[in-house]
A and B are shown apart, each in its own frame.
Chain A
C-alpha cells in the first residue's frame, strides 16, 4: 500500500538551531517527491520537487534531499518566520501521465526567537 510517513510530528527549535525533518515513503510508480509549506488557514505552498535518488535542491535556509526510501528537509539557522507545517507528498504515475499526490501528515515546526 502506498504510504508517506513524516517525523517528527512536531518540532520546536530556537532561532538559529539547525535541524532536519524526515519523510519516508513506499509507493509504486513514483513520479516525484514534493515538499510543501502550509501556514494556518492557507493552502499548501510549493517548495521543491525531487525526482531521483541523490538529487538535492535548496531555497534560502531550506535544503531537500532524496534517497530511494526517504527524503530530508534540512533547515539551516531557522528564523521565526520559518514556523509552519511542512508537508511531504509523493506523486504517482497514472496511466503514464500525471497523477495525484499522496501526502504525509506533516511536521509542525515552531521557531522561537
Chain B
C-alpha cells in the first residue's frame, strides 16, 4: 500500500513568487492534515480536511496560504506571494477514522530567497 506522497520534495523560489505543494494521502483516508516545521521550531499544525471540507484551519498563518482538497482526494497548499519567513518543511499527514494515528509524508522543503 502506498504511503502519503508529497510533491515536490524540494522547492526554491524567490520572494514574491507563487508555489503550490501537493499531497496525495493514503487511499481511503478521509482526514488530511498540513503541518509545517520552520528552522529550530517544533512541527506546527496548519489545517485539517475531512474529505473535501475544511474541519479546522486555525493554524493557517495568514491569507497568503490557500489549501484545497478536490473531491476529497489529493490536496494542494498554495503560498502566494511567498515571503522569507515561509521557508521550512511542509508535511502532509492522513488518517482513517477518528482516533487513529496519522501517517506522514516525507515533506516538502521550501526555501524562499
Contact = CB atoms under 8 A, between A and B. Distances in A.
Interface stretch (B11-19, B36-44, B70-78): B36-44
Given A31-B99, A43-B4, A43-B106, A102 B41 contact: no
Contacts of A42: 106-107
- Main secondary structure, interface of A, reads strand
A44 interface: yes
Contacts of B81: none
A24 to B, nearest CB: 14
Given A32-B99, A49-B101, A99 B106 contact: no
B59 A100 contact: yes
A104 B44 CA distance: 9
B102 to A, nearest CB: 7
A98 B31 contact: yes
Interface in B31-83: 31, 33, 35, 41-45, 48, 50, 55-56, 59
B101 A46 contact: yes
Interface of B: 4, 31, 33, 35, 41-45, 48, 50, 55-56, 59, 91, 93, 95, 97-107
25 contacts: A4-B42, A34-B101, A34-B102, A41-B106, A42-B107, A43-B4, A43-B93, A44-B43, A44-B91, A44-B104, A45-B104, A46-B104, A98-B95, A98-B97, A98-B98, A98-B100, A99-B48, A99-B56, A100-B45, A101-B43, A101-B45, A101-B102, A103-B35, A103-B43, A103-B44
Given A87-B43, A98-B95, A101-B43, 7 more contacts: A31-B99, A32-B99, A41-B106, A42-B107, A99-B48, A100-B59, A101-B102
